[in-house]
Amino acid sequence: MELTGAQILMRAFKEEGVDTIFGYPGGAVLDFYDELSRTDFKHILVRHEQGAVHAADGYARASGKVGVCLVTSGPGATNTVTGIASANMDSIPLVVVTGQVPSPLIGNDAFQEVDIVGITRPCTKHNYLVKNVKDLARIVKEAFYIARSGRPGPVLIDIPKDVANSKAIYDAPDTITLRSYNPTYEPNLKQLQKVVELVKHSRKPIIFAGGGIILSRASDPLIEFSHRTKIPVTASLMGLGAFPGTDPLWLGMPGMHGTFRANMSIGEADLMIAAGVRFDDRVTGKVQEFAKHADIVHIDIDPTSIHKNIPVAVPVVGDCKITLMHLNNLINKVELGDLDEIRKPWLEKIRKWKETTPLKYIQNGSIKPQFVVEKLYELTKGEAIITTEVGQNQMWAAQYYHFDKPNHFITSGGLGCMGFGLPAAIGAQVACPSKTVIDIAGDGSIQMNSQEFATAVQFNLPVKIAILNNGFLGMVRQWQELFYKKNYSWTNMSFAPDFVKLAEAYGAVGLRATQSSEVEPVIREALSIPRPVIMDFRVEQEENVYPMVPSGAAITNMILV
């Protein structure tokens, strides 16, 4: 039986196991929305297409599934670009369907026409313009396959309106095979044998875990490997939760705002086993100084990540989970000696770094933003899903909320996209209805997508927004303070809406804390309300994130509190 393009898309979504679509209707997708109303997909109507993509991103990270968006042509499509670029940098699997003007009008500068395939070429894993309805079923299947396989990423499908309403037989292959795309999952075992030898002889080893561990669900084999070899673990921003933040072998995050012990360990290590990381400049600082005494093993499914920023001794192309499982098998067969004894000097040294120079801040009566995050951690027993905006709020969340499990920390790592946290929290809450989901926000970034409060309220998604309100674009102000002689050029954001009233205007609940003693009661109350809540914490205005490594310096060169 012939189906319309719109029916084909819905059926293809069903076959891919889609249950939720984040979207916004418009002229070019009328046929899809018409058909959508006859399906049982959950549709979350956002208030801006950027919100749809961030929400799908949050949904994908919390659930481990592919996030799906549906938006119209022209401005609907261009509004998705920031969200797509963020997902692309963080390797998050998304399928974004954009409407397009009818095929005969393409290229004529038609109303709401934009070359979205051209625009998103550099920020998607792959994209398609569907020219014939007969190809649609196959293309959707390919798109999901590409989005979730190998190093995941966003895939965009642009569908002209005439393709949506013309008919074809549903024709998709049983399995997708692409002669030009075959990710390498199985590592080269000879390379792993070299890793085992390095582990045997190393005296100061560390593990550096990244987002790849979370994406490949490799936490368990990572923990097993670390515990078996007694190697301490640091994890990038994207990797937080890959290794328990309460484990004695946990070093904290490395890099620009990393812990003293993580950065010092990297500086002194003789072996670094890096898995699912891409050695971002915010982690490495000055590359020539990064882990300069260490043999670096780099495990990654994407060959382009290897040798890109940091030359490595042992490259291993493969899936993190499969690779770590092989590595555990190999390591279990060798004699590693009395590891308690062998690791003692190294772990002792790390313990001293932690003892002398822990993460800290100075309490002085006003509300310290770090204190708010600590209280959130304490009162949610570390079990909440935390999303963040970008800037100081993001770094304090990373430092003071100790993630024990993967898929619980959702942040725009690579692109550093303000306005990410609220829609991402909405997506995470859709994926995990029974979980507490908190967006740790700043007063600046929350205003970038605050229209999504309406979405949260409309769909009864009880997300909690904790605004660390310092009246500044805090991280930029911090750089101006430290590196631009306190010239606070346009970072003062003291004009802001009354966030409590804003919450109320949307039909949510607003709470405010202006002194330390009010922080805990506000959080308790917020957590007890089964509706969206905005908490406005009036925090110390000029608090800085420490430690801090100046841009381009070696990461052992830290400015401390």
Partner 1 sequence: MTEKKHIFSILVDNQPGVLSRIAGLFSGRGYNIESLCVAETIDPAISRITMVTMGDTQIIEQIKKQLFKLINVIKVYDLTDERSIQRELILIKVSAKANHRAEILRIVDIFRAKVVDVGSDHYTIEVTGTEDKLDAIITLLKPMGIKNITRSGRIALLREPK
Q: Which residues are catalytic?
A: 49, 111-112, 161, 475
Query: Which range, of 73-81, 98-106, 123-131, 211-219, touches partner 1 by CB under 8 A?
Result: 123-131
Our CB check for partner 1 shows the closer of 107 and 497 to be 107
The secondary structure of the chain in percent helix, strand, coil, rounded to multiples of 5, reads 40, 20, 40
What's the closest the beta carbon of residue 122 comes to partner 1, in angstroms? 5
CB of 151 to partner 1, least distance (A): 9
Name the residue type at position 261.
R
CB of 276 to partner 1, least distance (A): 17
Cβ neighbours, 10 Å, residue 551: 12
| Binding-site member from 47, 308, 349, 402 for partner 1 (CB under 8 A) | 308
List the structure tokens of 204.
């100061």
Residue with Cβ nearer partner 1 (92 or 251)? 92
Q: What is the DSSP letter of 469?
A: E
Phi, psi of 78 (to 5 degrees): -65, -30
Taking the complex as a whole, how short is the minimal distance between the CB of residue 117 and partner 1, in angstroms? 7
3-class DSSP assignment, residue 167: strand
* Residue 221 Cβ vs partner 1, minimum distance, rounded to whole Å: 26
Number of neighbouring beta carbons within 10 Å of residue 267: 17
Which residues lie below 8 Å from residue 330, measured CB to CB, with a gap of 6+?
189, 192, 193, 195, 196
Using the rule CB under 8 A, which residue among 104, 107, 118, 521 binds partner 1? 118
The least distance separating partner 1 from the CB of residue 166, rounded to whole angstroms, comes to: 20
What are residue 454's phi and psi, to 5 degrees? -60, -40
Instruction: Pick the closest to residue 164 from 14, 12, 337 (CA basis).
Output: 12
Indicate whether 117 belongs to the interface with partner 1 (CB under 8 A): yes
| C-beta neighbour count of 188 within 10 angstroms | 16
Among 43, 47, 126, 228, binds partner 1 (CB under 8 A): 126
Q: Minimum distance from CB of 306 to partner 1 (Å)?
A: 8
Among 135, 247, 302, 520, the residue binding partner 1 under the rule CB under 8 A is: 302
Binding mask 263-292 for partner 1 (x = CB under 8 A): ------------------------------
Q: Which of residues 32-61 bind partner 1 (CB under 8 A)?
A: none
The two three-digit tokens of residue 129, written as one number: 């313009």
What are the tokens at 99?
A: 């409407």
CB under 8 A: which stretch of 73-81, 288-296, 307-315, 515-523 binds partner 1? 307-315
Query: Does a cis peptide bond (omega within 30 degrees of 0) precede residue 547?
Result: yes
Q: Are 98 and 25 contacting, i.e. CB atoms less than 8 angstroms apart?
A: no
User: CB under 8 A: which stretch of 28-36, 296-304, 464-472, 506-514 binds partner 1?
Assistant: 296-304
**Burial (0-12, 13-18, 19+ Cβ within 10 Å), 103:** middle
How many other CB atoms are found less than 10 A from the CB of residue 69? 31
Q: Using CB under 8 A as the criterion, what x/- string covers residues 198-217 for binding partner 1? A: --------------------
Of 58-66, 195-203, 298-306, 410-418, the segment contacting partner 1 by CB under 8 A is 298-306
- The residue range among 162-170, 300-308, 330-338, 383-391 that interacts with partner 1, by the rule CB under 8 A, is 300-308
- In sequence order, the 6+-apart residues with CB closer than 8 A to the CB of 369 are 392, 393, 396, 468, 470, 537, 539, 540, 543
Q: d(Cα 108, Cα 78) in Å, to the nearest integer?
A: 18
Task: Select from 66-74, 303-311, 345-353, 497-505 the region that touches partner 1 (CB under 8 A).
Answer: 303-311
Contact 179, 152 (CB under 8 A): no
Fill in the per-residue mask, 164 to 183: x = in contact with partner 1 (CB under 8 A), - = not in contact: --------------xxxx--
Closest contact distance (angstroms) between CB of 9 and partner 1 is 21
Copy the structure tokens of residue 502.
């804003």
Q: Using the rule CB under 8 A, which residue among 307, 344, 351, 524 binds partner 1? A: 307
User: What distance in Å separates the CA atoms of residue 222 and residue 244, rounded to the nearest whole number?
Assistant: 10
Is 155 or 262 the residue whose CB approaches partner 1 more closely? Answer: 155
DSSP state of 20: E
Selected from 81, 89, 129, 465, the binder of partner 1 by CB under 8 A is 129
Footprint on this chain of partner 1 (rule: CB under 8 A): 117-118, 121-122, 125-126, 129, 146, 178-181, 302-304, 307-308, 311
